[in-house]
Amino acid sequence: MFKGSFPALVTPFKNGELDLDTLKHLVEWHIGEGSHGLVPVGTTGESPTLTHEEHETVVEEVVRAVNGRIPVIAGAGSNNTLESIRFMQHAAKVGADAALIVTPYYNKPTQAGMIAHFTALHDCCDLPIIIYNIPGRSVVDMTPDTMGELAKLPRIVGVKDATGDLARVNLQRMTCGKDFIQISGEDGTAHGFNAQGGVGVISVTANVAPKLVAQVQEATLAGDYARALDLQDRLMPLHTAIFTEPGLVGAKYAMSRLGLCSEEVRTPLIGLTEPTKQLVDAGLRHAGLMN
């Protein structure tokens, strides 16, 4: 069910407020461009600066707009287990297909603490869970052995792996089993991730180039790595440019250049510097998305 390209959907703003009309337009555009699913209210969706009510509104509006055409994996993570339970139960109530749960950040739980956190979330409702392991942001790293323990729970079905360590895919196949869904959380290494046994990407760049990112995924899943590499070569300058500064800021700027949404972000993030804008523009041209 969860394979291919899943844009980590940006949350568009207009004068500081949610721009729900643009959000709905983006959902339709992504479906038309061939995205295989959507992930609202992850970090790229600016979850840290949304209110709880805004968070739930975005998930509900995306699920309603998708209307069952592609899977929706709702961002529902927190370093507060009770808060994450709230988001999970809401996502289940409005009809999301799964929840993306980040390893608890800042409070630095042990491996046993992470098992307790994810077990509580598993037990709070019937929604499948994709673990989001991103040590560079959360400061904790879920080990393959810990993930293997959690994979024994029936509704913990996969991982979004943003460790950048391609060997993790193989190690997690050993501890979690070959059917455990492994999805890359890094655009630049998603091609190689699938060669190791991954089946998809939750992508920032797919906000800007959904068709190309989906085509990379389709080629790898069909075993055509030569075609996938050609496509990845078209995308690589854009991947690099978008992540020169915080990725969601780069993605929103690129989207504004394509007329898709405002580049507006919430503080403490701010707009791109001029040199990075030039890099993003060059990446758009190299990918064939802008003259």
List the binding residues for pyruvate.
44, 202
Q: Which helix (H) or strand (E) holds 6?
A: strand 4-7
State how far the Cα of 280 lies from the Cα of 251, in Å rounded to an integer.
Answer: 9
* Environment class of 225 (CB within 10 Å of its CB; exposed 0-12, middle 13-18, buried 19+): middle
State how far the Cα of 282 lies from the Cα of 291, in Å rounded to an integer.
Answer: 10
Q: Is the Cβ–Cβ distance between 124 and 88 less than 8 Å?
A: yes
* Environment class of 257 (CB within 10 Å of its CB; exposed 0-12, middle 13-18, buried 19+): middle
Coil, strand or helix: which one is 123?
Answer: helix
Crossing angle of helices 81-94/52-66, nearest 10°? Answer: 30
- Active-site residue, 132 included: yes
Q: Is the Cβ–Cβ distance between 157 and 129 less than 8 Å?
A: yes
Tokens at 5, concatenated: 């390209």
* Strand 129-133 versus strand 13-14 pairing type: unpaired
Q: Which of 160, 252, 253, 277 is catalytic?
A: 160
In degrees and rounded to multiples of 5, residue 278 shows phi and psi of -65, -35
State how far the Cα of 1 lies from the Cα of 71, in Å rounded to an integer.
Answer: 8
Q: Which of 3, 108, 132, 277 is catalytic?
A: 132
State how far the Cα of 181 lies from the Cα of 198, in Å rounded to an integer.
Answer: 7
Annotated binding residues, as ranges? 44, 202
- Active-site residue, 93 included: no
Cβ-proximal residues to 51 (8 Å cutoff; 6+ apart), any chain: none
Q: What angle do CA 23, 205, 225 make, to 5 degrees?
A: 130
* Residues known to be catalytic: 132, 160
